[in-house]
């Protein structure tokens, strides 16, 4: 008779996937066993609570390990916190042909969003921002100070004014030189 690959640690699982899940849990348990300090109740309780909250163990292999952690925690008499029960999220009482219903974990209810209100608020804010940006461009274009929008025009006007001033000075100097040469 051949070896049944669905048997893990004395449990015969219905599917190969369940058996593989149990083998994975065995690896997790071996890892925890190697790295866990069983001398402190706080460490054991922390690992135990995280395993239950995150539903790390879902097969009888993992449940046995959690049960052994419960027993170790109960040995510590000074533990002041209540030890939570092991959560088993499967249904055992069903007959062939019955519909199996596994209670879904309760998720926080989602709040209904007021999309119409959000849309109107978004439109109003976008309109206000468009007006502000338009005002900024208007101020930048009409400003006498050079900015990124009118710097070329401002520089050309500035250099043109310098050129005109230099030309006027040159003309005055030439006029004075002519007067001086005419007086001599």
**Could you please report the per-residue DSSP string of 57-73?**
--SHHHHHHHHHHHHHH
Q: What is the pLDDT of residues 144-177, one digit of tens each?
A: 777 777 778 878 888 999 999 999 999 999 999 9
Q: What is the pLDDT of residues 110-152, one digit of tens each?
A: 677 778 888 999 999 999 999 999 998 888 778 777 777 777 8
Does the CA dihedral 38-43-47-49 come out positive or negative? positive
Q: Are 45 and 66 in contact (CB under 8 A)?
A: no
Residues 6+ apart with CB under 8 A from 36: 43, 44, 47
Question: Which pTM does this prediction carry?
Answer: 0.48
């Amino acid at each position: 008779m051949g070896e049944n690959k669905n048997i893990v640690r004395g449990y015969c699982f219905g599917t190969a996937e369940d058996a593989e899940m149990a083998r994975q849990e065995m690896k997790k348990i071996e890892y925890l066993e190697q790295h866990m300090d069983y001398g402190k109740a706080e460490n054991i309780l922390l690992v135990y609570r995280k395993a239950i909250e995150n539903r790390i163990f879902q097969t009888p292999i993992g449940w046995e390990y959690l049960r052994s952690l419960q027993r170790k925690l109960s040995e510590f008499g000074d533990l002041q916190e209540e030890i939570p029960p092991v959560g088993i999220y499967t249904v055992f009482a069903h007959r062939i042909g019955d519909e199996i219903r596994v209670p879904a974990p309760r998720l926080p209810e989602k709040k209904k969003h007021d999309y119409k209100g959000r849309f109107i608020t978004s439109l109003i804010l976008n309109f206000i921002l468009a007006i502000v940006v338009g005002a900024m461009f208007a101020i930048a274009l009409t400003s006498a100070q050079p900015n990124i929008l009118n710097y070329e025009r401002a520089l050309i006007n500035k250099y043109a004014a310098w050129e005109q001033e230099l030309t006027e000075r040159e003309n005055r100097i030439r006029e004075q030189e002519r007067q001086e040469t005419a007086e001599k």
